Amino acid sequence: LLSVDAGNPAHAVSPILPGLMFEDINHSGEGGIYAELVQNRSMMASDTTPVHWSAVGAATLALDTATPLNTALNRSLKVVLPSSAGAGNRAGVSNDGFWGIPVRPGTSYTARLFAKASRRIGPLTVAIESADGRAVYASAHVPHIGTAFPGRPFELTLRTGSRTPVAGDARLTVTTADPAALGETLWLQHVSLFPPTYNNRPNGLRIDLMDKLVALKPKFLRFPGGNFVEGNTIATRFNWKNTIGPVWERPGHMDDAWGYWSTDGLGLLEYLEWVEDMHAQPVLAVYAGYSLKGEHVTGDALGPFVQDALDEIEYVTGPVTSTWGARRAADGHPEPFPLEFVEIGNEDWFDSSGSYDERFAAFYDAIKAKYPHLKLIATTSVTSRTPDLIDEHYYLAPSAAQASTHKYDNRDRNSTKVFVGEWAAQEGRPTPDLNAALGDAAWLAGLIRNSDQVLMECYAPLFSHVRNNVWATNLIAYDNLTSYVSPSYWAQHMLTSRLGNTVLPATARALPGLATVATRSGNRLYLAVVNCGTEKVTVPVELKGLAKGVKRQATATVLTGPSRATTNTLTEPGTLVPRTSSVTGAAASFTSTVPPLSVTVLELVLT
C-alpha cells in the first residue's frame, strides 16, 4: 500500500531544484556546446605542428612563433604559397573542424580571421567545402590582405544555398588564386567559423544543445567544473582572467584533465550569458589552490588565489564603477549578474595533504568579509569554518543508486545542508541505458523527498561528443550535426517538470523495488513511482487528508522499455521517450498498475 498524506506537507520542495553541472569533458565545450566549428583556430593546441590544418594546393604550412598576433596568441600559421601556378591554381589551408565541419542548407555562417601577407595580395577566399574539395557549399572573399595584421579580424558571412546537402564532413578553406601571391607568404591567426547560435550571440552556443537544456528548466548552472576548474597542475587551472575580453586575446590552455586544448572562447562571461539565457542562476566554482596531481597552495602563497576569487566575484556582480565590474561592462555586459552561491574548489577530499581546512578558511573569511550574503559551498567536510552547504558527489552502479533512494531519509535535519553537485547511475556509453535511468529516477526521488536537506542537485557529466567519450556515462550526446537525450534525461525531466512545491509524507508498505515521491501544488498532486523490477506492480494508493475528493480523470506519464539495456542513440534517438495519456479511476483510494522497468508520474487533480 502506498499511503500519501495530501493534507499535511512534510516540507517545501527546495526552490533551487534542479540544476545543471558543466565542465569541458568529452569535448563538451570545445566541439560541443561552444558553437565554434574550427578546431585549433588559435594555432595554440600544439607547440610543434598546426594540428587540424592541412595544405590546399602546393602550399607548405608551419607554425611561426616569430609572427605572433599578440602576446596571448603568440604565433601564427605560416603558409608559404607555391612559386608557380599548378593544377587548380589556388593554394592555402583547410581545417577539418571537430570531426568535420557540419553544413546545412540555407544557413548563414560567420567567419572571422586575421591574415597578413609578405606583400599586398587578394582576394583571399574563405569557403566551406566538401571533404574532397569538389563542392563549394558557401564562400566569401576578403578583397585585399595587407602586410600587417589588422586591429580586428576580417568578418565574412558565408551563406549556403537551399540545395546544399546536410553534411558533417565538410572543411573550412582559406585560399588565394591571386597570381601576385605566387611565391609569397601568408600568415593566419584566429580563423573562426560560427553557425547560427542560441539567441544569436556572436561567440555563442549550439542551438540544439541549448534547447535541450532549457527544456529541463534548470534553476542553476554549476561551472566551470569539475576537474576542469582545478587542472592537473596550477598552471592548467581555469584561470578566469585569461578567459575574458576579445576571444583573439585569450591564450587558451590545455584541458589536461580530459586531454585536449581549450581556447577559453567559452570563458567566464560566456558562461554567465549562458546562465542568463536559461533564466537560471550561476553556481560559481572558484579555483581554491589545489590541482589534481596534488599541487596545493597554503599560507601566504594563497593570497593571490583568494584575491583572484574576489576579483572574479566582482567581475560577476560588481557595479560598473568597480574595477572588475568595469571590465565586465567593457566586455559587453554592464548589468551585474545575480550571484548567491560560490563553490570553493572541487572534490578536495582528494587533497591528501589535508590542506583544505586551511584553504577553505582563507577563501571563506575573505569572501564573507566582502560579500556576507554569499552562500559558500565546501567540497568536503571542514572544521575550520561552517560552510553554508556541502557538495557531495555520487557515481553509482544502477542497483546502488536504486537502493540509495533512502540515503537522506534519516539524516540529522540540523546538519549542514547538501548540494549533490555531481551524481549519476553509471551504465551505458556515451549515455545511460534504461537500467541506469531507473537508478537515477529512484535516486532523484530520494533527493526530492529530502529536499529540505538536499537543497540543490545536478547530474554529471552533462555532455559527450560521440567521437570523444572519455567519461563513460553522460546525460546528452551528439556529433557535429545532431544530438539526442538519454532515458535518464527523460526520467529527470519527468520528475522535475511534474513536481509540486511541497513534499507530501508517504509510506510504502509491501512494495519492494519501488521508489516513490509525492508532491503537491494547490490542487495538483504528483505521484512519481519508479519500478526497477522486471514485473509489473499493482500499487494500491490511499490519499489521506483530502479536503474533498479527487477527480476521476488523471494524467499518467510513463517512461519504459523492453529491457534494462534499452537506450537511445544518435541514430535511434526516440527509442525511449515518456508518453503522456489520460487515465480514469483516480479516487481517494485507487489502484495504479506500473509497468516493469518504468518511471511513472501520475498527476491528480484534487477537488
Distance CA 552, CA 587 (A): 6
If one asks whether residue 178 binds ligand AHR (CB under 6 A), the answer comes out as no
Q: Which is nearer to ligand AHR, 5 or 23 (CB)?
A: 23
Distance CA 204, CA 516 (A): 39
Question: How many positions of this chain bind ligand AHR (CB under 6 A)?
Answer: 11
Q: Which is nearer to ligand AHR, 325 or 421 (CB)?
A: 421
User: Binder to ligand AHR among 160, 227, 236, 567 (CB under 6 A)?
Assistant: 227
- DSSP category for residue 162: T
| Least Å from the CB of residue 344 to ligand AHR | 14
Residue from 20, 58, 564 nearest 281 by CA: 20
Q: Which range of residues in 56-64, 158-166, 224-232, 516-524 is near ligand AHR by CB under 6 A?
A: 224-232
Residues 311-370 within binding reach of ligand AHR (CB under 6 A): 346-347
107 Cβ neighbours under 8 A, 6+ residues apart: 159, 160, 164, 195, 196
Sort strands 260-262 and 253-255 into parallel, antiparallel or unpaired. Answer: antiparallel
If one asks whether residue 53 binds ligand AHR (CB under 6 A), the answer comes out as no
| Least Å from the CB of residue 230 to ligand AHR | 8
Residue from 218, 197, 343 nearest 276 by CA: 218
- List the grid coordinates of 229: 576548474
Residues 476-505 within binding reach of ligand AHR (CB under 6 A): none
| Least Å from the CB of residue 421 to ligand AHR | 8
If one asks whether residue 9 binds ligand AHR (CB under 6 A), the answer comes out as no
The answer to whether the CB of 228 falls within 8 A of the CB of 30 is no
Distance CA 24, CA 224 (A): 8
- Reduced to 3 states, what is the DSSP secondary structure of residue 172? strand
Residues 445-464 within binding reach of ligand AHR (CB under 6 A): 460-461
94 Cβ neighbours under 8 A, 6+ residues apart: 53, 54, 55, 56, 129, 133, 171, 172, 173, 174
User: Binder to ligand AHR among 195, 225, 336, 487 (CB under 6 A)?
Assistant: 225
Residue from 222, 212, 219 nearest 420 by CA: 222
x/- map, 403-422, ligand AHR, by CB under 6 A = -------------------x
If one asks whether residue 471 binds ligand AHR (CB under 6 A), the answer comes out as yes
Residue from 560, 545, 551, 538 nearest 585 by CA: 551
Q: Which is nearer to ligand AHR, 282 or 461 (CB)?
A: 461
Q: Which is nearer to ligand AHR, 257 or 362 (CB)?
A: 257
| Least Å from the CB of residue 227 to ligand AHR | 4
Q: Which range of residues in 128-136, 223-231, 436-444, 445-453 is near ligand AHR by CB under 6 A?
A: 223-231
User: Binder to ligand AHR among 19, 226, 289, 487 (CB under 6 A)?
Assistant: 226
Helix, strand, coil percentages for the chain (3-state, nearest 5)? 20, 35, 50
Q: Which is nearer to ligand AHR, 315 or 471 (CB)?
A: 471
* Residue closest to ligand AHR when measured from CB atoms: 226
Interface contacts to ligand AHR, rule CB under 6 A: 23, 25, 225-227, 346-347, 422, 460-461, 471
